[in-house]
Structures are given as C-alpha cells and as structure tokens.
Amino acid sequence: MIRIQLPSAEAERLDARFRATDDRKLRDRLQIVLMAHRGRARQDIAADLGVHRKTVTRWLNAYCAAGLDGLRPKKAKGQPGKIPAALADDVRRWVIEGPAKQGLDRANWTHEELADHLRKTCGIHTSRSAVQRFCAKIDIRLYRPTYRYERGDPAKQARAKEDLAELGKGRRPVNSSC
C-alpha cells in the first residue's frame, strides 16, 4: 500500500497546479496524488477517475520517484520521418514553381504526386500522409495557389479598345421584342 503524506506547502502547490493546467492527462495524475494524500484508497480513486487500479499505483510510484516531473506527459517517440529536413528548400521550390516546371503534366501538386516525385528524384519512398505532415511542418500548402495579376501593356490595351470600338460601330441595334 502506497501512502502519500505531503507537506502542506507541497499539497497547495500541487493543488494550484491542478487548477491551473489545461492538460487533461496531467490533471488526472495530479488528482490521483492529491486524492491519495487525502487518504482515499487506490480502488476508490480508480473508480472515481474511471481508470484501472494499477494505473493509480503507477502514477503514485512515479510521483514518489520523480516528483512532479514524474507526472508530466511525455511525447511519444515514434519513428522519425523519412523526408530529411535538408529537402525543405527543394520541396518548397517545387511547390512554388509547380509540377509543370518539374516536367509533369499537372496544374497543381497533390501530396500523392509530391510523394511520387520524391521517390523518382531522390529515391525516398514515403506516403501521402507523410508528405502532408512534412509540408505542414515547413508551412507549405499545396492547394492554395497564389495568383499574380500583372498590369497589361498600355499600348496593347489602347489598341484593343479601338478594335472593339470599330466592331461596335458596324452593328445594328437589336430589337428585343419577346
């Protein structure tokens, strides 16, 4: 049986942290320690929080071993991405220039097309979703093309207005009696 007896300053510090945090996992873990400090049995804590009794024991042991740091949620390690960060500039350039500059018959990139292009050019076998995460990490959106409206040549615009005016002079008025 794990008994937790906290000094009043430590109990107040944990209670203040419990009330201030937005992280649900940390709140539950702090609540386990605070409930155990108040004398609540492990099976009752587990029933109140909807967790297994062994989970309560695990977090009480973690708190006893490492204090508040033992309760903090840790980021899952997972496998590192297959697309190296050094390719960020190249991928950004490909997306900005468009697939046509890369010799593809496409108007816009898709994540799947970009994954296929990575495979063909760099030999990196990756999935559509991995390319999507990589693009999000380097702040690139494939489906938001940027359009540039450039001013036309003023001489050509004036010539076009004259041509349209000449076309309009030769027309007869149209009767609209429906």
Output the tens digit of pLDDT for each of the chain's 178 residues.
567 899 999 999 999 999 999 999 999 999 999 999 999 999 999 999 999 999 999 999 999 999 999 999 988 788 888 899 999 999 999 988 889 898 888 888 999 999 999 999 999 999 999 999 999 889 888 865 555 556 678 888 888 888 888 887 766 555 545 4
- Give the three-state DSSP class for 88: helix
Tens digit of each residue's pLDDT (9 = 90 or more) over 101-148: 988 888 889 999 999 999 999 999 999 999 999 998 898 888 655 555
Query: In the prediction, which pLDDT does 178 show?
Result: 45
Q: d(Cα 28, Cα 59) in Å, to the nearest integer? A: 10
Question: Measured at the alpha carbon of residue 23, what is the angle toward residues 36 and 41, in degrees to the nearest 5?
Answer: 15
Query: In the prediction, which pLDDT does 157 show?
Result: 84
Q: Following DSSP, what letter does each residue of 98-143 receive, concatenated?
A: -GGGGT-S-SS--HHHHHHHHHHHH-----HHHHHHHHHHTT--TT
Read off the pTM.
Answer: 0.49
Place of tokens 């702040």: 139
Looking from the CA of 44 toward its CB, the CA atoms found within 13 Å total: 7
Q: List Cβ neighbours of 1 (8 Å cut-off, separation of 6 or more).
A: 42
Query: In the prediction, which pLDDT does 55 show?
Result: 95
Q: How far is CA 79 from the centre of its chain?
A: 17
Q: d(Cα 44, Cα 50) in Å, to the nearest integer? A: 10
